[in-house]
Amino acid sequence: YVAKKIFRLGQPPNYDMNVLSSVNEEQLKAELQRIKTLDWFLTNFFKEATRLHVEVAHIEVVDAYIAQEVDQQNFWLIEPCRTSVVNHYSGTMNHPSQAHDGPSATLLAFAHFVYIWSKEQVVFADLQGVLLMFSGQDGVVLFDPMMHTVNMTGGLGDHGPAGIAKFLEDHSCHVTCAQLGFTEKLKEDDKVDSDSG
C-alpha cells in the first residue's frame, strides 16, 4: 500500500509548506470523494455501454480509504501500491481528443458521458491510470482524478466554469461517443455559467 498526506499547497514558487492537520484532512477527504464520484459515474457508464452493446475497455477506479494515526491528528489516504508507469489520458486543463488505444477511446467517451449525466455540471480532469491485467485482458486502474464543477466544489484543481469550458473546447467525439448516442457535438456556447444550479 501507499499512503498520501498533503504537505504543501499552491503553485511553485509560492508553496504553502505549513499545511494544517485540519486542511490535510479536508483535502484528503475531498480526494476520496472525487475517487468515489469517479467510480459512481464509471459504473453508470458501463451500464449504459452494456445496455447499448457498445464494446469498451476494462477500466476500474482505485480502491482507497482514509486512515488516521492512533495517537496523532495525522490523516492519510491509503491506496494499493502500483507501478510507477502512469498513462495520462487528460490533464487539469488539457483534454486530448486522440484515441490511440481502447482505454483512451473509452475514456474520451466517458468524459463526454459525465458531462451529459451530470447535466453539464461536472467534467473529470487529470485522468490517469496504470495498465493491469484483468482475467487475461488489458485494463486500466484510474487514480488521483480532478474534477471541474460549476459551483467549484471539486477540491484541488477545480477550475469551475473555466475548466468545463476548456473541456468543451478540447473534446472531439470519437466513434465510441457515436455508438453511445452522443451525437451532438459539444460547442463552446454550451458553456454553463456559475449562476446555474
Q: For residue 21, is it within any domain?
A: no
Q: Which domain holds residue 114?
A: 37-62+82-190
pLDDT score, position 74: 87
Long-range contacts of 188-193 (CB under 8 A, 24+ apart): 190/120, 191/161, 191/164, 191/165, 192/120, 192/121, 192/150, 192/161, 192/164, 193/150, 193/161
Q: For residue 74, is it within any domain?
A: no
Edge-to-edge order in the sheet of strand 137-143 = 58-61, 137-143, 128-134, 87-88
Span 2-56, pLDDT tens digits: 998 887 776 666 666 677 888 888 899 999 999 999 999 999 999 999 999 999 9
137-143/58-61 β-pairing: parallel
| CATH code: domain of residue 134 | 3.20.200.10
Span 171-186, pLDDT tens digits: 988 899 999 998 665 5
Q: For residue 44, is it within any domain?
A: yes
Q: For residue 168, is it within any domain?
A: yes
Strand partners, 67: 76
Number of domains in the chain: 1
pTM for the full predicted model: 0.87
Q: For residue 48, is it within any domain?
A: yes
Q: For residue 17, is it within any domain?
A: no
pLDDT score, position 185: 54
Span 112-137, pLDDT tens digits: 999 999 999 999 999 999 998 777 77
Residue tagged 459512481 (cell numbers) = 40
Distance of CA 144 to the CA centre of its chain: 7
Q: For residue 104, is it within any domain?
A: yes
pLDDT score, position 184: 62
